[in-house]
Amino acid sequence: MNTLLSVEDLTVEFKVSNGKFKAPDGVSFKILENECVGMVGESGSGKSVTALAIMGLVPKPQGKIVKGRIIFEGKDLLKFNNHPRGTKISMVFQNPLNSLNPNMKIGKQLSEVLEQHYGMSYKEAIGKVTAMMKQLGIPEPEEMIERYPFEYSGGMRQRAMIAMAMLCHPKLLIADEPTTALDVTIQAQIIQLFKKLKLESKTSIFFISHDLSVVSQIADRVIVMYAGKICEISKTEEIFEKPLHPYTAGLISSIPDMKERKTKLRSIEGSVPSLIDPPAGCRFHPRCSQKMPLCMEKEPDDFSVNDRIVKCWLYKGVYQ
């Protein structure tokens, strides 16, 4: 399959009151056409900033892309004046209320996207909006277009946001924690909706969550982030069958197993390091049960085998 997006050595530097740090820090990955790539990692690991960098929306003035390339359909988005945001690349966020105008009916807000990008009349646009809302499981869309965001439930608002993001049939849909703010039942419905989108549209999906069990339900491949760096990229089935990085193994063993509720959950001991003054060598070493002297001194190389990538000294000499 062809590569749709190639992120190469992406580094974003933040200047804050007590110093500066990088997150993401030298991150590289690809998203293929029709592929769903998931990204997981604890809070502050750089997932949202990676997504914002792809969207050309790194928060200024605190944040700045200091290194890297983001190649989309052969063009470097960092050098391209005409960013395809909202058309070929669109994004849904954790809290749809932040992205919706509270004083405008949903139908009007969504139809404006088509009016602005394609010069459609309201009548034509609203027809497409209603059809998209129906496709995304919003019941009675003819009536729902007349309602305001506050009249929607959380789940329906997120469906409306996904409809908005899909209106221009983007090549890439970025979803940053789209289910995190929802309760468990609604969360499951939205995950089902992403699965349906994956099957029925040609859109590639970049799906971000701190929850590996959520990501694993829809992603073909998973990127695991830790403290601004990628520690592993593997196919979803492989990551569960045999996690390579000790951090990935820790994440998997901390997923509650519904069948074995009695088993005590193992969480990874310790906490995420400060990015301003990160540990030397491998950033995960203070929490790693398999650390070796080398891990405290030198940042691990990326080792790869059969399309899997792992940034860990355990694989030195095992993988190339």
Ligand X SMILES: Nc1ncnc2c1ncn2[C@@H]1O[C@H](COP(=O)(O)OP(=O)(O)OP(=O)(O)O)[C@@H](O)[C@H]1O
Shortest spacing between CB 21 and ligand X, in angstroms = 7
Encoding tokens for residue 80? 């391209």
Q: Is 4 in the site for ligand X (CB under 6 A)?
A: no
Q: Which amino acid is at 158?
A: Q
Least Å distance, CB 177 to ligand X, is 6
Which residues inside 258-277 make contact with ligand X, applying CB under 6 A?
A: 275
**Rounded Cα distance, 91 and 131, in Å:** 20
With CA atoms as reference, report the closest residue to 86 among 23, 214, 174: 174
235 token code pair: 């196919």
**Which of 32, 33, 70 minimizes the C-alpha distance to 49?**
70
Question: Nearer to ligand X by C-beta: 10 or 173?
Answer: 10
Q: Which does 244 bind (CB under 5 to 8 A by kind): Mg ion, ligand X, none?
A: none
What is the rounded CA–CA span in Å between residue 298 and residue 282?
Answer: 7
In this complex, which beta carbon is closest to ligand X, that of residue 55 or of residue 145?
A: 55
Q: For the segment 12-41, give every residue that binds ligand X (CB under 6 A).
A: 14, 16, 23, 41
Binding span for ligand X by CB under 6 A among 44-52, 99-107, 152-160, 189-197: 44-52
193-232 residues near ligand X, rule: CB under 6 A: 210
**Complete DSSP assignment for 200-250:** HS--EEEEE-S-HHHHHHH-SEEEEEETTEEEEEEEHHHHHHS--SHHHHH
**How far apart are CB 208 and Mg ion at their closest, in Å?**
7
3-state helix/strand/coil string of 6-43: EEEEEEEEEEECCEEEEEEEEEEEEEECCCEEEEECCC
Tell me which of 19, 59, 139, 293 binds ligand X, using CB under 6 A.
59
Interface residue list for Mg ion (CB under 5 A): 47-48
Residue appearing with tokens 């990955």: 29
Type of residue found at 88: K
Rounded Cα–Cα distance for residues 60 and 137 (Å) = 37
Name which of 26 and 137 has its Cβ closer to ligand X.
Answer: 26
Q: Which of 10, 38, 48, 221 binds ligand X (CB under 6 A)?
A: 48
Residue nearest Mg ion, CB atom distance: 48
Q: Which does 263 bind (CB under 5 to 8 A by kind): Mg ion, ligand X, none?
A: none
Residue 202: CB minimum distance to ligand X, A = 27
- Residue 142 beta carbon to ligand X: minimum distance, rounded to whole angstroms: 36
Integer Cα distance of 170 and 203 in angstroms:
6
CB of 224 to ligand X, least distance (A): 12
**Under the rule (CB under 6 A), what is the footprint of ligand X?**
14, 16, 23, 41, 43-49, 59, 62-63, 210, 275
